[in-house]
Amino acid sequence: MKYCSINGQQQTDIAVTDRGLAYGDGLFTTAKIVNGTVVLLEKHIERLTHGCQQLKLQLPSNISLREQLASVVQGYSLAVLKVMITAGSGGRGYSRVGLSDNAANIIIMISDFPSHYETLAQQGINVGDSKYQIATSSMLGGIKHLNRLEQVLLRTEVDERSEDDLIVTNCQGDVIEATSSNLFYWLNEQLCTPEISTSGVDGIMRQVLIAKNTEIKVCKTSFEELKYAQAMFISNSLMGIMPVKTYNNRLLDVDVVLKLQRRMKGFI
């Protein structure tokens, strides 16, 4: 880790009573730093604002957060920014009753950018199907909250297998995403992405891709349908558009993904 601050003070210590630690009471966003600026900063601010509203957390001033981020990322040519907002310390058990309005903690961290992403973004990755399923929740669907045990178990499965990443379904059998990224695929010449209103994360890159490519169809799909996909990629704010070269050991068309990469270069 290159940098860490809590509420504007450079430090790494946080109270053991923090609700983010005890209950995962909070949310986060992860962004790419390029030449001293945060890529898609306004989208990330919007995510934090919207997430705090959904989780009924008191978000500190957008202006002060924006100023903090603009200041701390200067001097980094290529790095990873992570912003976490926790509910802070207070309340009793799960209840927030008694928690002060200014209890929230803003944690800002900067770390090294994954050096292998650039190569993989041209060569493509190998992807399979996960044996696990993730839960559905009308309250939490789409939010990047701090409860990430499902993703920890998914990543453990990836580490135990030969593939680079895995695709996961929800408990109803609907395909949702990869372990830490959104999924896109071409089926019958149609570019599609899974519907994620009750499961998964509504990624910043997913939002941008849908906004800039009106032909993308948001729909429910299954592992059975993915067997017939002609091409596929995963995406998040760090990796951008990552081609999938094999899905369950079946070769896919990488060229169509690289073409989309080039077309989206100015936006991501």
Active site residue ranges: 30, 144, 177
Neighbours of 117 (CB within 10 A): 13
Rounded distance between C-alpha atoms, residue 47 and residue 161, angstroms: 33
Per DSSP bridges, beta strands 217-219 and 190-194 are parallel
Alpha helices for the chain (secondary structure H) = 19-23, 41-55, 62-72, 117-123, 149-160, 204-212, 223-226, 255-264
Per DSSP bridges, beta strands 37-38 and 78-86 are unpaired
**DSSP string covering 175-217:** EEEESSSEEEEEETTEEEEE--SSSSB--HHHHHHHHH-TTPE
Specify the 3-state DSSP secondary structure of 104.
coil
